[in-house]
Amino acid sequence: MPKTTKAKKKVAKTKTKVVSKPKKVAAKAPIKISKTYQPKDTEKYMCEKHKVFFRIKLNEWKKELVKANNEALYNGSMDDNSISADIVDQASSYTDKNVEMKAINRQIKLISEIDKALMRIREDTYGFCLDTAEPIGLKRLMARPVAKYTIAAQEKHEKDEKVHADD
């Protein structure tokens, strides 16, 4: 019998560690909004509904710009009239292409601004002025979803740019 008690003691000393399973964190269900939803001043500013609304609006705007750019680039490459014998036609074609490329470049910059706005939505800073951290306001964001500043801060930036441009 003494052998069995020693065996039991050994078993008791070599207990296995119980590893607890990681706790599952409840993921938030994605907020769904109707296609006709419009943000309201009565709702909490930049609540989840507002963020979803602006994310959708920005993504749709970006898709439209990319599509328009692709079409302009494709159609522009197809309309190559610069081989014309008439120098006036060549100059006109060059001017048209130049204007078209400037428009495409503006749209590319706007796509970059849209990407930055989408990043601000992910970082929970969207809708707040980058200078003052005050709310930009729903009306301004509806008119210009890529707005980074309140109207007062934007006017100050534009004034500063004008002053420095004159130097």
Say yes or no: 152 and 82 in one domain.
no
Q: Answer yes or no: do 121 and 49 share one domain.
A: yes
Distance CA 68, CA 29 (A): 34
Instruction: Report pLDDT digits (tens) over 71-116.
Output: 888 876 655 555 667 888 888 888 888 988 899 999 999 999 999 9
Q: Could you report the per-residue pLDDT of 105-147, keeping only the tens digit for each?
A: 999 999 999 999 999 999 999 999 999 999 999 999 999 999 9
Are residues 167 and 120 part of one domain? no
Same domain assignment for residues 58 and 116: yes
DSSP labels, 84-146: -S-HHHHHHHHHHHHHHHHHHHHHHHHHHHHHHHHHHHHTT-TTB-TTT--B--HHHHHH-TT
Indicate whether 87 and 98 sit together in one domain.
yes
pLDDT(69) > 70? yes
Domain count, the chain: 2
Q: What pLDDT shows up at residue 21?
A: 55
Question: CA-to-CA distance for 127 and 45, rounded, in angstroms?
Answer: 8
Q: Which residue range(s) make up the domain with 92?
A: 44-126
Structural domain includes residue 8: no
Q: What is the model's pTM?
A: 0.71
Q: Which of 95, 111, 126 is the last residue of a domain?
A: 126
Whether 29 and 74 have beta carbons less than 8 Å apart is answered as: no
